Amino acid sequence: MKEIKKILVPVDFSENSKKILKSARYMAETFSADLSLIFVVQSFEDYSGFFVPHMPLDQLADEMLIGARKKMADFVEDHLGELKVNAQVVAGDVAEEILGYAEKEQMDLIIMGTHGYKGLERILFGSIAEQVVKNSPCPTLTINPYK
C-alpha cells in the first residue's frame, strides 16, 4: 500500500463535518500526514433558470465565496487549533472540484462523511460521497457520522 502523506477532507461546516474532522485529524497525526480541507460553493449556473435572484449570479457567487472563506478560517481555528492545515474554498460542482483537487494535489487519501444532502437536495445534487468514491484518484475512506 502507498504511504499516506496527504489527506483531503471535504467539509460543509455541519455537525457531521466536525465528527469526520476528528477522525481525519487522528489519521493525519497517526501517519504524520499533511491535512487539507476543501469546501466547495455549489455553482448556481446550472440552476439559473429556476429562480430570478435579486442580484446577478456572479455577484451572488462572489459573496458566497467571501462568506465561505471566512467560515473556513473560523472552522479551522475552532476545530484544529494549532495544527497546520491547507484550507481551500472553491466554486463549482462539488464532486468534480473535490476529485480535481485530489488529483491535482496528488492526495493519498480522501476522508469524508457518508451523509450530507437529504431529500430534494440529494435528488438535485446526487450523493457527493458516492460520486467521489466511484471516481477518486486515491483511496477514499467514508465515515458514517451517526455511528
| Spans of all domains in the chain | 6-143
Distance CA 59, CA 144 (A): 36
Q: How many CA atoms lie within 13 A of 46 on its CB side?
A: 8
User: 34-42 and 6-10 as β-strands: parallel, antiparallel, unpaired?
Assistant: parallel
DSSP sequence for 40-94? EEEP-GGGTTT---SS-HHHHHHHHHHHHHHHHHHHHHHHHTTS-EEEEEEEE-H
Q: Please give the share of the chain, as a percent, with pLDDT higher than 70.
A: 81
- Residue 24 pLDDT greater than 90, yes or no: yes
pTM for this model (two decimals) = 0.84
Q: Under CATH, to which class is 6-143 assigned?
A: alpha beta
Q: Which of 1, 2, 22 is nearest to 11 (CA)?
A: 22
pLDDT for the residue 125: 43
pLDDT for the residue 120: 43
Q: How far apart are the first and last CA of the chain?
A: 27
pLDDT in tens, 69-127: 999 999 999 998 878 899 999 999 999 999 999 999 999 999 999 865 554 444 444 58
Question: Which residues, 6+ apart, have CB-to-CB distance to 129 below 8 Å?
Answer: 112, 113, 114, 115, 116, 142
